């Protein structure tokens, strides 16, 4: 395109075109002038362009094609404008609604004679004469491999960094709220949880269609009484969360820590400031301009991928989580077995052969079951045990890690195979079990001592007796020295030393185990009381579908069952103990913890297997109102009985003297 072409298209002489272009058009009519200018604009005519091309002169224009939906659009544009001015260039900006618009915008940039081009896209586009002077920018690594020069950062890295910052402060129950366009932030959030072996609850994450949707539904869904922190996918979401929390009188950060992906001045003025992840969009844009300018001047190679990393901006919105929400640490010392479950019409008796109707193989062992049960319910749980260096051992290890169990204290034994349990389950759900200890028998004192750091920071130790007796005894004494409360499930034993009972905070036998420990014709309540007087602080006798019985210094209470129809009772006791431990670790009283545990075990026995049958928090929370109601009723009934026994005398709390110590605890029995 030259001046003659412009004159031909406008229907005028070349001298007329020259006068219009040089401002010497006083003798030219306004109509003719407008017609000439319209042709020049339409054709993007630049005078002497062919001459400049021939002489190797560059036009100092850089084109930027950026997506309208790019969350960092303004920062990228401002940074690019600063960078081009420093380099002596000017910037032409075009906004693309989608990738489909970009080819047309590239053509327009070519017509406007830009010297180089920056494109915001993960796709590769043909850029004609600008092919070797084109740089791509992106917020993901998933870009077209045919792009020669790409500058990028990853939103998923920002989501991961935000989550890890909260984890570093001690948070484990973390929500994540994003808009659908920022789904990769959620990917980074999940990656961080997985790499730290922390639970992911679907209800804690929300992908909103827009800010309105997030305000209406997302925040209320994600931020419940279990969550201690939230990753906000943008500054706007952080402001919405802040506004709702302020309205509900939730103190930030004391009750809820938060961090936003993306930074702006608004985050500095909310409360003590909202911590954020600053995206590297400005550095990326500036460096892309610098590199493109060198490409235009033929000073740079034209194949490059450069990654930019987000950084944490610390303000005042992240503190350690409230302990009552986070829960104390739980150590599990016990057996790890592969369970072989055979479904039969009835349990075989001496000399009888039964044909199994179904065979199921699941990860198990009382220690493994209790650890998985606690992990699924959101407990901070650490396993100590032994596995064989075989396929079963690897499967067991994987099962526990997938269920948020920390495996710091587990070792692989090359001498023995992994333990196994052979289980018969009849049509009523009752079961019998034969256990092969395998590698479990090699759990020794040195392994317990090597895990001293776990006990020093743990509130509870779940202990079963499918491991050597000497290790059970040593662990109980070890826990006492470290002020760790023991929750013990007896099994396959007819006696336990009184000196050990005195160091057990929660002793949890079933009815058969109780009869072995205290033989004779006494009632269940009398036998439980005998164990308590021998030293156990709390004796809890599980009774299957009929619930359980608690006796301690303050209470003697029967808890009714749930009424759920059992299909496999194998894991009921392990589910009960792990659920009770998690509830206690969160600061709940023993009444509420047992109520919670009864429903968890009730759900478990309606499913086959043990570890696959153990419920997560969401499954138990379906019955939250029932648990609360039962808890309150039992407290009220006990208070009434105390008043009756003492002739109506009450303490200042309305309880008899025996229950005075429970007044404060009863206040914790709430939703």
Phi, psi (deg, nearest 5) at residue 634: -60, -40
**Contact between 223 and 174 (Cβ < 8 Å):** no
- Taking only the tens place, the pLDDT of each residue in 515-553 is 989 999 999 999 999 999 999 999 999 998 899 999 999
What pTM was estimated for this model as a whole? 0.62
Q: Are the C-beta atoms of 541 and 510 separated by less than 8 Å?
A: yes
Q: How does strand 538-542 pair with strand 134-138?
A: unpaired
Domains of the chain: 3-54 (1.10.260), 61-153+283-312 (3.40.50.2300), 155-278 (3.40.50.2300), 327-622 (3.40.1190.20)
C-alpha span between 611 and 613 (Å, rounded): 5
The number of residues in the chain equals: 671
Residue 395, Cβ neighbours under 10 Å: how many?
16
Burial profile 96-105: b = 16 or more Cβ within 10 angstroms, e = fewer: beeeeebeeb
User: Would the pLDDT of 439 be above 50?
Assistant: yes
- CA distances to 446, 469, 504, 532 from 478, in Å: 12, 14, 12, 21
Q: Would the pLDDT of 415 be above 60?
A: yes
pLDDT tens digits for range 60-81: 889 999 999 999 999 999 999 9
Q: Does the pLDDT of residue 642 top 60, yes or no?
A: no
Which sign, positive or negative, has the C-alpha torsion 19, 23, 26, 31? positive
Single out the residue of 299, 288, 293 nearest to residue 59, CA to CA. 293
* pLDDT at residue 643 greater than cutoff 60: no
**Residue 61 in contact with residue 113, Cβ under 8 Å?**
yes
Residues 29-69: tens digit of each pLDDT = 888 888 888 887 677 666 645 544 444 445 688 999 999 99
> What is the dihedral angle through the alpha carbons of 640, 644, 647, 649, rounded to the nearest 10 degrees?
-20
E-assigned strands of 389-501? 405-413, 419-425, 431-436, 458-464, 485-489
Contact residues for 318 (Cβ-Cβ < 8 A; gap 6+): 165, 166, 169, 229, 253, 257, 258, 259, 275
Give the H or E element holding residue 115.
Answer: none
Look at residue 179 in the predicted model and tell me its pLDDT. Answer: 94
Q: What is the DSSP letter of 64?
A: E
Reply yes or no on whether the pLDDT at 607 is more than 60: yes
DSSP 8-state class, residue 65: E
């Amino acid at each position: 395109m030259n001046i003659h072409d412009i004159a031909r298209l406008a229907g005028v002489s070349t001298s007329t075109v020259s006068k219009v272009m040089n401002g010497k058009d006083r003798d030219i009519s306004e109509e003719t002038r407008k017609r000439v200018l319209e042709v020049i604009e339409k054709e993007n005519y630049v005078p002497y362009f062919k001459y400049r091309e021939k002489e190797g002169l560059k036009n100092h224009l850089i084109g930027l094609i950026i997506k309208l939906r790019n969350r960092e659009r303004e920062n990228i544009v401002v940074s690019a404008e600063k960078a081009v001015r420093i380099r002596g260039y000017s910037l032409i900006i075009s906004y693309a609604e989608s990738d489909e618009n970009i080819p047309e915008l590239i053509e327009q940039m070519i017509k406007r004679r830009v010297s180089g081009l920056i494109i915001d896209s993960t796709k590769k586009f043909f850029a004609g004469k600008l092919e070797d002077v084109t740089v791509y920018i992106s917020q993901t690594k998933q870009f077209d491999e045919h792009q020669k020069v790409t500058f990028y950062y990853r939103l998923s890295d920002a989501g991961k960094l935000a989550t890890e910052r909260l984890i570093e402060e001690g948070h484990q129950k973390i929500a994540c709220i994003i808009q659908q366009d920022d789904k990769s932030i959620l990917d980074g959030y999940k990656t961080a949880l997985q790499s730290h072996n922390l639970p992911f609850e679907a209800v804690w994450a929300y992908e909103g269609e827009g800010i309105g949707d997030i305000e209406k539904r997302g925040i209320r869904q994600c931020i419940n009484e279990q969550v201690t922190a939230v990753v906000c996918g943008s500054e706007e979401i952080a402001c919405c969360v802040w506004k709702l929390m302020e309205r509900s009188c939730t103190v930030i950060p004391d009750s809820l820590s938060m961090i936003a992906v993306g930074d702006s001045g608004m985050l500095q003025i909310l409360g003590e400031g909202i911590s954020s992840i600053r995206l590297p969009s400005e550095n990326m844009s500036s460096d892309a301009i610098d590199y493109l300018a060198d490409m235009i001047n033929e000073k740079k190679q034209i194949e490059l991928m450069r990654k930019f990393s987000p950084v944490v901006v610390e303000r005042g919105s992240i503190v350690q989580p409230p302990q009552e929400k986070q829960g104390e640490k739980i150590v599990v010392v016990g057996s790890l077995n592969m369970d072989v479950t055979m479904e039969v019409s009835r349990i075989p008796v001496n000399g009888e052969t039964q044909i199994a109707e179904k065979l199921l193989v699941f990860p198990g062992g009382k220690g493994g079951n209790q650890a998985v049960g606690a992990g699924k319910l959101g407990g901070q749980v650490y396993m100590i045990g032994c596995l064989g260096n075989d396929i079963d051992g690897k499967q067991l290890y994987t099962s526990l890690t997938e269920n948020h169990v920390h495996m710091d204290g587990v070792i692989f034994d090359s001498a023995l195979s992994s333990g196994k349990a052979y289980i018969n389950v009849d049509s009523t759900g009752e079961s019998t079990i034969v256990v092969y200890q395998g590698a479990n028998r090699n759990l020794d004192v040195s392994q317990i001592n090597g895990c001293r750091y776990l006990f020093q920071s743990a509130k509870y130790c779940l202990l079963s007796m499918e491991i050597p007796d000497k290790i059970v005894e040593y662990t109980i004494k070890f826990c006492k020295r470290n002020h760790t409360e023991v929750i013990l499930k007896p099994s396959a034993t007819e006696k336990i030393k009184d000196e050990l009972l005195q160091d057990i905070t929660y002793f949890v036998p079933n009815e058969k185990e109780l009869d072995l420990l205290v033989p004779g014709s006494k009632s269940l309540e009398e036998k439980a009381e005998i164990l308590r007087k021998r030293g156990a602080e709390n004796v809890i006798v599980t009774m299957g579908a009929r619930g359980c019985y608690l006796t301690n210094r303050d209470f003697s209470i029967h808890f009714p069952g749930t009424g759920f129809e059992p299909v496999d009772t194998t894991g009921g006791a392990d589910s009960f103990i792990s659920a009770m431990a998690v509830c206690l670790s969160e600061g709940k009283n023993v009444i509420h913890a047992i109520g919670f545990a009864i429903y968890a075990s009730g759900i478990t026995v309606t499913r086959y297997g043990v570890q696959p049958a153990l419920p997560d928090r969401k499954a138990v929370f379906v019955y939250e109102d029932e648990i609360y109601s039962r808890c309150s009723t039992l407290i009220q009934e006990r208070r009434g009985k105390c008043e009756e026994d003492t002739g109506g005398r009450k303490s200042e709390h309305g309880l008899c003297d025996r229950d005075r110590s429970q007044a404060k605890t009863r206040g914790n029995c709430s939703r």
